[in-house]
Amino acid sequence: MSKQLPVQKNEHVHVQFEDLTHDGAGVAKVDGYPLFVKQALPGEVALVKVIHTKKNFGFGRLIKVEKESIHRVEAPCPVFNRCGGCQLQHLSYEGQLQYKQKQVQEVMARIGGLNDLAVHPTLGMEDPWRYRNKSQVPIGEQSGKIVAGFYAERSHDIVDTDECLIQSEDADRAMNLVKKMAEEYGLRGYDGKTHKGQLRHVVIRHAAATDQLMIVLVTKNESIPNKKHLIKRLRDTFPNLASIVHNVNPKRTNVIFGEKTTTLWGEDVIYDEISGIRFAISPRSFYQVNPVQTKVLYEKALEYADLKGKENVIDAYCGIGTISLFLAKQAKHVYGVEIVPEAVDDARQNARLNGIENADFYVGEAEKVMPWWRAQGIEADVIVVDPPRKGCDESLLDTMTEMEPEKIVYVSCNPATLARDLKYLKEKGYESKEVQPVDMFPQTTHVECVTWLEKVPREVT
């Protein structure tokens, strides 16, 4: 017979919260049995309803906070309780920064075995709202009405909203205008479950330095009714509009963009600038979403690289060449590698745009291109990596260490895979020196980190 759990489903219990999980839920223990409760904070005492139990842990719903944390604040967003976009609006910003530092520290110890590694206080924003330069807003239909907003947590149900406090006010206005025009022109919202409807997403990109705006409409097939009017109304509303793009995605998929992209009006790209370097951004290319903090992040990476002007640098996972061009100014030569061909085209164009001649970009998997470089006699003094959430392939880590750079700078958007990779690199003779968390995504549980590692000198016998 299974052992009786300390709490039963639907039971109400008074609990004290001790901790926050990596996805921002409060953790309370009832006779050692952990209960995870959204929007509860450490130090709080609360009445909770148990909603789900498993063998080793359960989930509860917050009914009433009886003793509040000093870090509790009122979430300003009206749909915070339903929308899956933000998880931490109820936690003071100071509290969010401390939470992120602690999360990184814990993961370094638990996954990386790096208990003594220095994790600095998180570098935060002065104003942690309205920071996103890109919004990808799903459009749908509910009870015959067009809806636009973000998905509820762990679902593809759209939470209809007319305002998102972490995106720009222009993005709010564009989202609302597109919704209104869709209603007026009979453009149906797309339903992912039935694959019916036409308008799938509106993507809004804004270049903070130049104020240029790009609006991308993603539809299931080619047709957009009243296209001319639609373009005119967007242009009349946004004097800073530089580009209107149409992307067609006929597939049954959660992936936002399809293969076919055409410019309906204006330019194919918008231009942004970070620390005096200009970047062309096309509708689909990867570009960091928080321009204020990108500068902080890249400057930290540059500081850690500590270039003197004589170094060969490899930027693996280089995207549109942002970090590469940042480093090129202070290095002898930078080699960037990236898997998406369009991003490499952008990177080359960006180098030209800035008159940078000591940076070369290659298309391919970093783990394959790097050994080839090595065979060509290219040596690296510093290697920078900035992989996607899943971290680096082991083969890439192997190649990297075989190239024996003096230094590795690792930029990561996922502390768990960072810790795993740092552990592996330690076994291969590279010691992690320090970790700097940077808050690229205020109000959410996500955190970016930059770390540097040094080659441990072999003992001379």
Instruction: Give the footprint of ligand SAH on this chain (CB under 6 A).
Output: 286-288, 317-319, 322-323, 337-340, 343, 365-366, 386-388
Whole-number Å distance between alpha carbons of 101 and 173: 35
CB of 373 to ligand SAH, least distance (A): 13
The residue (of 175 and 369) whose beta carbon lies closer to ligand SAH is 369
436 is an annotated ligand-binding site residue = no
- 101 carries a ligand binding annotation: no
Q: Pick the closer one to ligand SAH by CB: 45 or 340.
A: 340
3-state SS of the chain: helix, strand, coil percent to 5? 25, 35, 40
Q: Report the nearest approach of ligand SAH to the CB of residue 365 (Å).
A: 4
Task: Establish whether 288 is an annotated binding residue.
Answer: yes
Q: Which is nearer to ligand SAH, 18 or 402 (CB)?
A: 402
Q: How wide is the angle at C-alpha 318 spanned by C-alphas 312 and 319, nearest 5°?
A: 155
Based on the residue annotation, tell me whether 164 is a catalytic residue of this protein. no
Q: Find out whether 439 and 123 touch, Cβ atoms under 8 Å.
A: yes
Q: Are 453 and 430 in contact (CB under 8 A)?
A: yes
Q: Which residues pair with 407 in a beta bridge?
A: 382, 454
3-state class (DSSP) for residue 174:
helix
User: CB-based burial of residue 461 (10 Å sphere; 0-12 exposed, 13-18 middle, 19+ buried)?
Assistant: exposed
Active-site residue (options: 77, 83, 164, 413) = 413
Q: At what angle do helices 415-427 and 93-110 cross, to 10 degrees?
A: 30
> Which residues, in sequence order, are bridge partners of residue 17?
28
Closest approach of ligand SAH to the CB of residue 129, in Å: 23
Compute the least distance from the CB of residue 48 to ligand SAH, in Å: 39
**Is 338 annotated among the ligand-binding residues?**
yes
- Which residue of this chain has its Cβ atom nearest to ligand SAH in the complex? 319
Q: Which is nearer to ligand SAH, 243 or 288 (CB)?
A: 288
The distance of closest approach from Cβ of residue 119 to ligand SAH in the complex, given in angstroms and rounded to an integer, is 21
- Rg of the chain on CA atoms, in Å: 24
Nearest residue (CB) to ligand SAH, 337 versus 380: 337
With residue 105 as reference, give the H or E element that holds it: helix 93-110
Burial 210-235 (b: 16+ CB within 10 A, else e): eebbbbbbbbbeeebeeeeebbebbe
* Nearest residue to 171 (alpha-carbon basis) of 229, 121, 132: 132
State the catalytic residues.
413
* Bind-site residues for S-adenosyl-L-methionine: 288, 317, 338, 386
List the binding residues: 288, 317, 338, 386
